[in-house]
A and B are shown apart, each in its own frame.
Chain A
């Protein structure tokens, strides 16, 4: 941590006051985050061990691990868990892979590049409910959607994407929202690459693929880890896109953990069961976080 060395506090008697001031300035943020991260967590844990249904007051009392047992043996839960992982992994793959290629593409100079770039990053500014409805109706509607019209124009039968491939379609909609974010970050990283270094490699006869593989790609490591961290936080909780397009269906085909917990808690009013699902979601997020925080910690040190 270079910065720590640079800004090391002055020696002597002022150290203690500096420490105290530092602590005082930090404490408001730290305190509310502490409360924010602990109180709901404890409450979730507590509820998850209770029989607690908002519409059935007769059912109450300690449930032990019943809620967990009920949840973990529920095939819907396993399905939702798998769907969550597929969604996160799929969107990350598309946005990192596509984002890297597009970053290299939009780093090239061509006519109207500035406008093209703005168009590419635009979907990032669209709110999830809008992009979900936009794709569901205007683009993919089996009768009136533009994509269906295009398929008919070339002699194919339009597909009801959200009914036939619900999870894949939701993944594509979410990827459309997050690919621009990856492009935004990765493009900046590519552009910050030393031009001379690239020219030198070019002079030495390195082809475009070799330049990409040995010069650009290694340089992108930190940017990619930033994209992975920020996107994972959001992708673990994809909700609006599912709620608006498929409502988790057909069946549980496009239900992820977020949607499952929502439907248990606010549609079926089963607070205990939903809380058990919440605890499981937290455990999964923490497993992911251990890896991610490590990657970010490396970045903070550099």
Chain B
């Protein structure tokens, strides 16, 4: 935008840009605001923008439900699923990127196509399998399912990242006597670390916010934050203060995480596919 833009256009763009941003962000802003209101203030009509902030809703949420239990489940499941998926996907992506065969492209597309299998289509068998293997309502069970659903996307993203690494660098390492394992861990991984980081980031966000399997495969023991919030839907639905406090607690970590890492994330999501 090096050329001069008309001032009126500039002002129009500024107003429009901010207007839409504020409108889209408003529900989140309002949720955070309401979480600091008392229950009476939260349902006052017309809604109040200025009020004496209180932490009473937070105190009550912590008192009634064991927030840390749900938060810990979410962290265990997200981190566990992501770690296992990356560990499985790195060798696979390495093999596809540096030892391609005639079937590489077909394999990659097939992997992606497994992701097209709608979870509802296999809800019944997965539920029954989980029940019979005693994995129902366990962090392990949920982490395995999350890992499997994200694996194809992770392999795909790592593959596009690895392809950006020039093969001659790896070959040079091999000439110097590096084994495949050393080539992968000592040469490739450091070079592709930013890509691996953004892939892991996306996986974490997807797992953190995953709702379908969380709601269907867990009940109390392994219920993550998504299920914790859903439990507020019926009886406490009208307690806006508590609902907002609980919701803020559930989204705050990943929201802040997302804000900090959005640049990284965009790279991960678009690298190779969108340039």
Contacts and interface: CB of A to CB of B under 8 A. Distances in A.
Interface of A: 1, 3-4, 6-9, 18-19, 21-26, 28-30, 32-33, 36-37, 39-41, 43-44, 47, 102, 105-106, 108-113, 115-139, 143-144, 146, 149, 152-153, 176, 179-180, 184-185, 187-189, 192, 195, 199, 202, 222-223, 226, 230, 233, 236-237, 239-240, 243-244, 257-258, 261-262, 265-266, 271, 274-275, 277-279, 281-282, 284-286, 288-289, 292-293, 296-297, 299-300
Contacts of B229: 127, 129-130, 133
Contacts of A135: 27
Contact of B27 (A138, A187, A189, A274): A138
Given A110-B17, A127-B208, A133-B243, A237 B118 contact: yes
Interface of B: 1-3, 10, 13-14, 16-18, 20-22, 24-28, 30-31, 34, 42-43, 45-47, 88-89, 91-92, 94-101, 104-105, 107-109, 111-129, 148, 151-153, 155, 163, 167, 180, 205, 208-209, 211-212, 215-216, 225-227, 229-230, 232-233, 237-238, 240, 243-244, 247, 250-251, 254-255, 257-259, 262, 265-266, 269-270, 273-275
B219 to A, nearest CB: 11
B167 A7 contact: yes
A299 B243 contact: no
Sorted nearest first, the 6 A-B pairs with minimum C-beta distance are A22-B99, A43-B125, A240-B211, A40-B122, A119-B25, A25-B95
Contacts of A152: 45-46
A137 B238 contact: yes
Contact of B240 (A132, A137, A279): A137
Contact of B121 (A23, A136, A285): A285
A37 B117 contact: yes
Nearest to A20: B99
A89 to B, nearest CB: 16
B124 to A, nearest CB: 5
A47 B45 CA distance: 52
Given A110-B14, A134-B31, A226-B270, A126 B95 contact: no
- By secondary structure, the A interface counts as helix
Contacts of B25: 119-120, 122-123
Given A125-B255, A130-B251, A44 B167 contact: no
B250 A127 contact: yes
A136 B254 CA distance: 22
Nearest to B3: A202
Contacts of B167: 6-7
B128 A271 contact: yes
A134 B122 contact: no
B56 to A, nearest CB: 18
B120 A188 contact: no
A292 B68 CA distance: 41
Contacts of A230: 153
A288 to B, nearest CB: 7
Contact of A223 (B92, B255, B274): B274
B46 A137 contact: no
Given A21-B95, A226-B274, A282-B121, A119 B101 contact: no
Given A123-B24, A127-B225, A271-B128, A281 B121 contact: yes
A136 to B, nearest CB: 8
A149 B120 contact: no
